């Protein structure tokens, strides 16, 4: 049997998603020895979150990467409309935000991750190992001292001063330490699929809401990424009713899609996204920190999962920059470095914003999941409905771009990291 190989790093980050790669890049800019483990050989995964919010564009600007980032293929959306029983409602107007970051950018997540990995890979203290899956953690007493892993050549161990679990909502590292997230009941799932764009020009529309059916559309340039919100656990029943019935319900709810729903010719192209919403009450152990989906699984509502993962990474790098640099100056035998107090401070900073956004998401899902015996809006709206819209829509349109576009506790690149460019 081949001997287990051993690698060493100051910081080992498990998971090459937005949180892991952004944190790895930020720490490597400081000259911190960082090793990122990504279990897949590439970043090509369908239907991953690919909404880049104004706050993320602002952070990329802080890092001097924004202009290059925006040369990659993407689409830009400055307002989000919702069609309710044929009535168009402009729910959010991101052009109210200060320019130049006054829009949402939609970009395939693999392009975003390749971009981050490419810039990080130019830094001498950054290493990315693809095709390397964490299998457990190393311990010294109660402290985590790295991870065990496996790659194409067999087993290996990574010895690290700090381990960061950024390996998603089914985190292997989190499970190995006994940290268990609190699950919140979400009564909906989402069926994702691609449709060609209709031949007639259609105004950008985030969602079509009709009695009992909610359809989400995201412009991907040459196609529409489309989601149908269903009651949780109902996918088998919908399949049993037949593909034609499913397409008819889509065409009724989202009439502009009627000319193109015929392109959906088999169930294999329909992917079930099981919506989960959960969070850890404690994000850390000695030598370990959980961030991103490993700490809090956000629902797809408002597309904020990537935004909050990136903000976790920035908050982590800002807090740990000085202790990690002090340790690097002190040398290998130095007792200086990250303490449990530092890790607890990161959780204290990020958890309130996560809790508040998850509460908003839960309220939205409860409203969507509630069965309706009549349309949300009459067409044309009644006098009472017009009055309600006159009060609610301006309030949402005013606060929404800030709450969704920047998050409830926006992060900015700290001075120590900014000086490292």
Instruction: Work out the pLDDT band at 48, boundaries 50, 70, 90.
Output: low
Highest mean pLDDT among 83-97, 154-168, 292-306, 392-406: 154-168
Beta bridge partners of 164: 13, 289
Residues 162/109/276/254 CA torsion (nearest 10 deg): 170
| pTM of the predicted structure, to 2 decimals | 0.91
Average pLDDT over every residue of 122-127: 97
What's residue 29's pLDDT?
96
Residue 371, pLDDT above cutoff 60: no
pLDDT in tens, 219-273: 777 788 898 988 888 999 999 999 999 999 999 888 889 999 999 999 999 999 8
Query: Would you state the structure tokens that stand for residue 46, as one six-digit string?
Result: 């369908």
Average pLDDT over every residue of 117-128: 97
- The answer to whether the Cα torsion of 319, 325, 328, 334 is positive or negative is negative
pLDDT in tens, 17-29: 999 999 999 999 9
Average pLDDT over every residue of 76-101: 85
For the chain, the structural domain boundaries read 5-184+276-418, 188-273
Q: From CA 101, how far away is CA 55, in angstroms rounded?
A: 8
What's residue 40's pLDDT?
92
What's residue 334's pLDDT?
46
What's residue 239's pLDDT?
94
Indicate the pairing of strand 79-84 with strand 207-210. Answer: parallel
pLDDT in tens, 298-357: 988 888 999 999 999 999 999 999 999 887 665 554 445 799 999 999 999 999 999 999
What's residue 385's pLDDT?
67
H or E element that contains 190: strand 188-196
Query: Would you state the structure tokens that stand for residue 71, as one six-digit string?
Result: 């040369």
Indicate the pairing of strand 154-165 with strand 5-14. Answer: parallel
What's residue 340's pLDDT?
94
The class (CATH top level) of 5-184+276-418 is alpha beta
What's residue 333's pLDDT?
46
Q: Please provide the average confidence, as pLDDT, over all residues in the chain.
A: 89
Average pLDDT over every residue of 281-303: 94
What's residue 363's pLDDT?
85
Whether 132 and 123 have beta carbons less than 8 Å apart is answered as no
Beta strand ranges found along 291-328 (DSSP E): 296-297
């Amino acid at each position: 049997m081949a001997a287990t190989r051993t690698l060493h790093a100051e910081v080992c980050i498990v998971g090459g998603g937005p949180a892991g790669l952004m944190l790895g890049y930020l720490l490597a800019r400081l000259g911190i020895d960082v090793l990122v483990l990504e279990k897949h050989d590439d970043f090509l995964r369908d239907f991953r979150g690919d909404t880049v919010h104004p706050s993320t564009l602002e952070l990329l600007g802080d890092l001097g990467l924004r202009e290059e980032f925006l040369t990659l293929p993407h689409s830009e959306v400055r307002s989000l409309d919702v069609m309710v029983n044929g009535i168009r409602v402009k729910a959010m107007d991101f052009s109210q935000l200060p320019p130049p970051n006054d829009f949402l950018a939609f970009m395939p997540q693999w392009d975003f991750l390749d971009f981050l990995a490419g810039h990080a890979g130019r830094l001498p203290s950054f290493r990315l190992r693809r095709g390397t899956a964490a299998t457990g953690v190393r311990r010294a007493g109660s402290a985590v001292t790295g991870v065990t892993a496996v790659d194409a050549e067999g087993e290996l161990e990574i010895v690290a001063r700090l381990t960061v679990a950024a390996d998603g909502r089914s985190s292997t590292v989190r499970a190995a330490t006994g940290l268990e997230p609190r699950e919140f009941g979400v009564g909906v799932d989402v069926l994702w699929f691609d449709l060609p764009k209709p031949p007639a020009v259609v105004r950008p529309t985030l969602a079509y809401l009709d009695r009992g059916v909610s359809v989400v559309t995201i412009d991907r340039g040459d196609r529409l990424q489309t989601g149908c919100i269903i009651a949780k656990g109902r996918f088998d029943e919908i399949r049993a009713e037949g593909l034609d019935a499913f397409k008819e319900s889509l065409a009724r709810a989202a009439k502009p899609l009627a000319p193109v729903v015929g392109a959906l010719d088999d169930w294999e192209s329909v992917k079930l996204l099981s919506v989960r919403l959960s969070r850890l009450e404690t994000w850390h152990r000695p030598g370990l920190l959980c961030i991103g989906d490993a700490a809090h699984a956000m629902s797809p509502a408002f597309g904020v999962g990537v935004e909050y993962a990136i903000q976790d990474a920035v908050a982590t790098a800002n807090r740990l920059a000085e202790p990690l640099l002090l340790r690097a100056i002190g040398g290998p035998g130095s007792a200086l470095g990250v303490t449990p107090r530092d890790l607890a401070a990161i959780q204290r900073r990020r958890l309130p914003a996560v809790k508040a956004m998850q509460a908003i998401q839960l309220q939205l899902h409860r409203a969507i999941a509630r069965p309706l015996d009549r349309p949300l809006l009459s067409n044309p709206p009644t006098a009472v409905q017009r009055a309600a819209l006159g009060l609610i829509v301006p309030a949402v349109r005013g606060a929404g771009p800030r709450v969704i576009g920047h998050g409830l506790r926006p992060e900015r690149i700290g001075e120590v990291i900014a000086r490292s460019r």
